């Protein structure tokens, strides 16, 4: 399995990838090229790598509790929103945590997991 990381740069210790994922597809050309370097999770708990620009609801966490925010935003806006509220973008470290976060979402949701330990833009350039 590829290495995936939380927003703090810590290596992810868990993953529940959907069949044949991550597939690391790309779209666009030149400076507009975007890679599937961010994690969305469906309501059954299966992970998929996708583009950060995709608008999705997201999950933040605080002291072991998960909070679903239903506003559909990009991965970067979701991260910023969690932080602006003094929360952490949701990290999933076990099958139990994955199940608890999957049950909270009614559709695909963002998690605070990405492919690179260095926070990059959708095009892969350092932020």
pLDDT in tens, 94-121: 999 998 888 766 789 999 999 876 665 5
Residue 25 has pLDDT above 50, yes or no: yes
Confidence of residue 125 (pLDDT cuts 50, 70, 90): very low
Task: Please work out, in degrees rounded to the nearest 5, the angle formed at the alpha carbon of residue 124 by the alpha carbons of 77 and 8.
Answer: 55
Cis peptide before 22 (omega within 30 of 0): yes
For 4-20, what is the mean pLDDT? 89
Residue 19 has pLDDT above 90, yes or no: no
Q: What is the pLDDT of residue 127?
A: 39
Q: Return the closest-CA partner of residue 82 out of 57, 119, 108.
A: 57
Q: What is the three-class DSSP state of 6?
A: strand
For 31-51, what is the mean pLDDT? 88
Query: Has this prediction a pTM greater than 0.95?
Result: no
Q: Over 55-72, what HEC string results?
A: CEEEEEEECCEEEEEEEE
Phi and psi torsions of 57, nearest 5°: -65, 170
Q: What is the pLDDT of residue 104?
A: 67
Q: What is the pLDDT of residue 31?
A: 75
Q: What is the three-class DSSP state of 1?
A: coil
Phi and psi torsions of 93, nearest 5°: -110, 0
Asked if residue 13 lies in contact with residue 4, where contact means CB atoms within 8 angstroms, the answer is: no
Q: Return the closest-CA partner of residue 47 out of 12, 80, 9, 87.
A: 12
pLDDT in tens, 55-83: 999 999 999 899 999 999 999 999 999 99
Residue 126 has pLDDT above 60, yes or no: no
Dist CA 43 CA 4 (whole Å): 20
């Amino acid at each position: 399995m590829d290495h995936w990381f939380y927003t703090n740069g810590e290596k992810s210790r868990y993953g529940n990838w959907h069949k044949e994922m991550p597939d690391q597809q790309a779209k666009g050309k030149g400076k507009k090229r975007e890679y599937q370097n961010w994690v969305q999770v469906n309501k059954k708990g299966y992970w998929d790598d996708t583009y950060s620009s995709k608008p999705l609801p997201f999950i933040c966490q605080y002291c072991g509790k998960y909070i679903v925010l239903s506003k559909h935003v990009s991965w970067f806006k979701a991260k910023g929103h969690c932080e602006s509220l003094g929360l952490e973008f949701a990290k999933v470290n076990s099958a139990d945590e994955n199940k608890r976060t999957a049950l909270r979402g009614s559709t695909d949701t963002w998690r605070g997991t990405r492919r690179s330990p260095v926070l990059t833009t959708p095009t892969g350039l350092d932020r």
